[in-house]
Chain A
Amino acid sequence: MMETLQLLGQGFVVAFSLQNLGAALFGGILGLIVGAMPGIGSLAGCALLLPLTFHFNPTTAIIMLGSIYYANMFGGAFSAILINIPGDAPAIMTALDGFSMTKKGQPGKALFISNYASFIGGFIGMVILVFLGPALASFGLNFGPSEMTVLMLVAMTSISWLVGENPISGIVATCLGIMISTLGIDIVSGQIRYNFGSIWLLGGINFVPLVIGFIGMTQLFDLVVQDRAKEKISYVDVKIRFRDTLLTKDEYKRATRPSITAGLLGTFVGFLPGAGATAASFLCYAVEKKLSNGKTLVPLGQGAIEGLAASESANNAAAAGAFGPLLALGIPGSGTTAVLLGGLMMWGLNPGPMLFSTNPDFAWGLIASLFISNILSLAISLGCIPWLQKIVRVPIGVMIPSILVICFIGAYSTSNSMFGVVVMLVGGFLGYIFGKCSLPTAPLLLAFVLSSTLETNLRRAFLTSNGNLAVFLQRPITDVFLVIFLIMVLVPAGRAIYNKVKKN
């Protein structure tokens, strides 16, 4: 323990040099801007900004990379909150409550809470990483095909908590999400499936354009068809003052507890190989919905501080958690950490079991710089709030074409091809129809993200066990998750039956 702190202290000394601080600040500002652009998000953001770091020495470069990564995570929430277009996948849950708050005339407050929660989540994640990182990363290795299958099963089941009043339409949306995710090449056998003869569908549907379509474009269509003679001309026509962005004591209280819970859970999900920030923000949101049931001022999804805080804290905690397997094992836990891994290797550093013994000053310097990045990102984004929140006062007539341009650029840049734009337009059209039929879109998007992981791991589990179902019962971790799964399924069913019997 003392040794860890001492090493971390040395790391801070490295990170606090003027050059390294400057690099962290520069990376933070750039990362925030790029992360705030929809469709670019943290993955493409890191990839785009990676070449910038080539001009520095390895330690400075990596520190800058770390701060780009962190600031990206902060930035992803901005467009979700202000214009209802998630900058990256984890921000979908942020948009639910964040944009609702904006519509109520509290964009500044929403941004403030998101930054506050991001900071807490990131901080918790970093502290856990410092003290338990290698141990947790090794524990994460225990998550093989059967464990991941059951974890994803639990996650898929918790979608039911988010579907709203009409379970049937929730199930329809979930099933559609699963169907869309099966397009493309089957990773286990290498067979091509459901590509309808098109090479574009060979790779399946990319998530980011789908989200931009389903959320951003749908909202545009809604704006276009609105009768503006009756509706207001901008999202918010009250005057926005800076002091309105500051939180009251009660609001701090409402944001802090969910941020801490989500921070702890999110870090853990981040440690699992292949789970990532999206699964973390979504799981923590679902858990928060259960935890704060009835205690919130408004229900989650309609502008609740608790939901916004849980989602933002979770995705930053997972971002920190993902560094565990990356540094201790050399295994990237997400697409973004995979890009970081590429960056590290370019400098001749091989993250892996040897990193902490062969390059201790580098490893601890990076971790220390992540702490600093977290604080810097908070300061930079808080400083931006007064300007950013003015965006929502832009007249809708100007807003529509601007969002349209942003959507197109975002959809195009995910794969640098028009296919993304086509996916976005189709998604936007479907999303509009969804809205007209009061089908919820969040279950579709989440089912899409989770079901490919579920499918791949389920089939791997059956391959290793020769199709024997016992593989899900023989391991302690799967047993724990199966019990959680059964409780989640049976308790509501039991309660419904009990109520019915009592009524009769």
Chain B
Amino acid sequence: MKKNLILTVLVFLLAAVAVFAQGGKEADDGQFHISGNVDFYVSSSAGGGSDIITRTLTDIASKKGFVDAPFVVYNQPDGNGQISRRTVSTARNADSTLLCFSSGDLTAMIQNGGLTLDDFRPLVILAADKHLCFVNANGKYKSFQEILDAVAAGQKINVGGTMSDERVVFNMLCDELGTDAFTYITYGSASESIAALLGNHVDIAISKPAAASQYVLSGDIIPVLALSTTRFTAPFDAAPTLSELGYNDVEYPMWRGVIGAKNMSDEAVAYWADVFKKISETEEWQNDYLAKNLLVSQYMGPEEASAVMYEAQAAAQAQN
């Protein structure tokens, strides 16, 4: 009896060690190796754009054998994403801890305070993304012009979106239209705000194309406004830009990239930059991710990415 229990506890502890032990180390042969799991953090819940890009990246890296170590993806939306950012920033296994990072995350990070880019190692920027306004196909409004008319007639419009970059582009849109008839309702993720639109609980949902494409294809929601200087490609091509409606174009291009822990070694930075460069050149990445999600390919290595990120940080700090 007692022996059995001790055995059980031992097995349990071993399993726990196997599950929770992680870490990247440099092997003796001088070449950089990852040992243990690679912890890839996503500061938003599953189903959103950050999650999709992370799953695609890890999938290609594993399938093509660019990285031997298994990836473990953590969705940690806690604390407006600040907890996952802090976790990555101070990660002990610095060489094998990555964070999916976008301009929206950057805005949120600066708003929350306590962390800046100095707490991380910028690695790469991989793609750029812009926003659209969507309405429900069975809703009150069928085009953005109808919404503008309704606003002129004194109607209030409810707009759903997430807490970060969509909120920024919403504020820019309101400034350009010069109206306070829009009320912004925050949702936890893109899929939640689209669900709210599908249920007619908001009049407009602001979203990036990736999270909305299924519903546009099925005809449940209609893109009515491109928050960009040019129109999107199909199936979003019907949405006009603001300049077509007689206003100045509004856009808040969102880049997506990856950053690492503050203490990541130079060897690891070079290693990951190389891995992501290889991924960005694969057919899967070009066809299955970029083309499918209507994104612009935009590989930038550590130095370039760092410059772009710091520039965005300065802008965000000025706004704050």
Instruction: Determine whether B62 belongs to the interface, using a CB cutoff of 8 Å to chain A.
Output: yes
Known: A332-B46, A339-B46, A415-B76. A345 touches B16 (CB 8 A): no
Asked if B20 CB lies within 8 Å of chain A CBs, one says: yes
Evaluate contact between A192 and B112: CB separation under 8 angstroms.
yes
Residues of A within 8 A of B112 (CB): 185, 192, 202
Q: Which A193-212 residues sit within 8 Å CB-CB of chain B?
A: 199-200, 202-204, 206
Q: Flag if A405 contacts B9 (CB, 8 Å).
A: yes
When the two chains form the complex, which single residue of B86, B183, B199, B200 contacts A199, counting CB atoms closer than 8 Å? B86
Inter-chain contact A417/B73, CB cutoff 8 Å: no
What residues of B have a CB within 8 angstroms of the CB of A405 in the complex?
9, 12-13
B19 contacts the other chain (Cβ, under 8 Å)? yes
Cβ contacts under 8 Å, B114 to chain A: 199
Question: Is the pair A353, B185 in contact by a Cβ cutoff of 8 Å?
Answer: no
- Pick the contact of A202: B73, B80, B158, B213 (CB < 8 A): B80
Say whether A409 faces chain B, with CB atoms less than 8 Å apart: yes
How would residues 41 to 84 of chain A score, 1 for a CB under 8 Å from any chain B CB and 0 otherwise?
A: 00000011011001000000000000000000000000000000
Given contacts A332-B47, A342-B73, A405-B13, contact A203 B215 (CB under 8 A): no
B186 in the interface (beta carbon within 8 A): yes
Query: A19 at interface (Cβ–Cβ under 8 A)?
Result: no
Q: Is the CB of B80 within 8 A of A190?
A: yes
Contacts of B196 in A (CB 8 A): 144
Q: Are A345 and B52 in contact (CB under 8 A)?
A: yes
Task: Say which residue of A51, A190, A273, A463 sits within 8 Å of B195 (CB atoms).
Answer: A273
Q: Which of B28-47 contact A (CB under 8 A)?
A: 45-47
Distance between B159 CB and nearest chain A CB, rounded to angstroms: 10
Nearest-neighbor residue (CB-CB) of A138 within chain B: B198
Q: Mark B195-221, 1 if CB is under 8 A from A, else 0.
A: 110111110000000000111011010
Q: Which residues of A contact B2 (CB under 8 A)?
A: 398
Count B-side interface residues using an 8 Å CB cutoff. Answer: 61
A345 to B195, CA, bound (A): 18
| Minimum CB–CB distance for B162 against chain A, Å | 10
Q: Is the CB of A203 within 8 A of B79?
A: yes
Find the A residue at minimum CB distance from B83.
A203
Instruction: Report the minimal beta-carbon distance from B35 to chain A, rounded to whole angstroms.
Output: 16
- CB-based contact A342/B214 at 8 Å: no
Taken together as a complex, chains A and B put the C-alpha atoms of A416 and B183 apart, in Å, by 38
* Count, chain A residues at interface, CB 8 A: 58
**Hey, which chain A residues are within 8 Å of B70, CB to CB?**
51
The residue on B at minimum CB distance from A330 is: B214
Measured between C-beta atoms, what is the minimum distance from B213 to chain A in Å? 8
Shortest Cβ distance from residue A45 to the other chain B in the assembled complex, whole angstroms: 11
Closest to A202 in B: B79
Q: Given A185-B80, A202-B80, are A464 and B158 neighbors across the interface (CB < 8 Å)? A: yes
Pairwise interchain contact A329-B195, C-beta atoms closer than 8 A = yes
Residue from the list B183, B188, B191 in contact with A464, Cβ < 8 A: B183
Contact A417 B186 (CB under 8 A): no
Q: Which residue of B lies closest to A200 (CB)?
A: B83
B55 part of interface (Cβ distance < 8 Å): yes
> Scoring A residues 340 to 358 as 1 if CB is less than 8 Å from chain B, else 0, what string do you get?
0110011010101110000
CA distance in complex: A350, B217 (Å):
12
Is there an interface contact between A348 and B288, defined as CB atoms closer than 8 Å? yes
Contacts of A54 in B (CB 8 A): 62
- State in angstroms the CA–CA spacing of A235 and B59 once bound together: 48
Chain A CB within 8 A of B228 CB: no
B145 beta carbon closer than 8 Å to chain A: no
- Report whether B163 and A190 are in contact in the complex, using a CB–CB cutoff of 8 Å: yes
Q: Could you give 8 example pairs across A and B, Cβ below 8 Å?
A: A48-B19, A331-B194, A348-B288, A350-B214, A354-B217, A394-B5, A402-B5, A412-B20
Closest 4 CB pairs of A and B: A203-B79, A203-B78, A144-B201, A352-B214
| Given pairs A203-B80, A402-B5, 11 additional interface contacts (CB within 8 A) | A190-B108, A339-B46, A342-B55, A345-B55, A350-B213, A398-B5, A405-B9, A409-B16, A413-B16, A413-B19, A415-B83
Residues of A whose CB lies within 8 Å of any CB of B are 47-48, 50-51, 54, 141-145, 184-185, 187-190, 192, 199-200, 202-204, 206, 273-274, 325, 329-332, 335, 338-339, 341-342, 345-346, 348, 350, 352-354, 393-394, 398, 402, 405-406, 409, 412-413, 415-417, 460, 463-464, 466
